[in-house]
Chain A
């Protein structure tokens, strides 16, 4: 049972480039989330989804877009990368609204 799988694990982008981070879960969870983790700031929610075909904004959504075309996948897109988006990105999923999250192992993104 793989749990939550994130790809890629590392990426370096130039300012203005675009990319998509993929998150896949095999636990049939309804809820999926994208967080970013920065030193001293904990985990901040970017976007989330409460089911297939739904998405919603979190605390820091600017500069990011998401899609949940299939229940098991949640994609995070950066249309025009900026140095401020240098961070570690974590995807998570949960069965319901007030259940524990299962996190992926993260994607370390550097924008130069």
Chain B
């Protein structure tokens, strides 16, 4: 059974770079697209972007200038980097398998942007 687990710092300073990793277990990262989604406290879901195992990517236009998603098939992981963060980037960040609809999600990791 495929499972996803997000990891990374829970606190990031303003203007710095947020870095998260999603580890895929119970299955191969090869095949499928893999997405990052975030949810600010008390608010709705926002899709950040996805990556195919081959490395091709697509990003939310509103975040595209600050976001990079990469994949490491040898580790069965994919990662998110978001630059120049502000308090508005405080959210729970989820990774998910994305074979069209998002069928398997990680539990999410809370990232707070604060000095």
The answer to whether A and B assemble together is: no
Interface positions of A (Cβ within 8 A of B): none
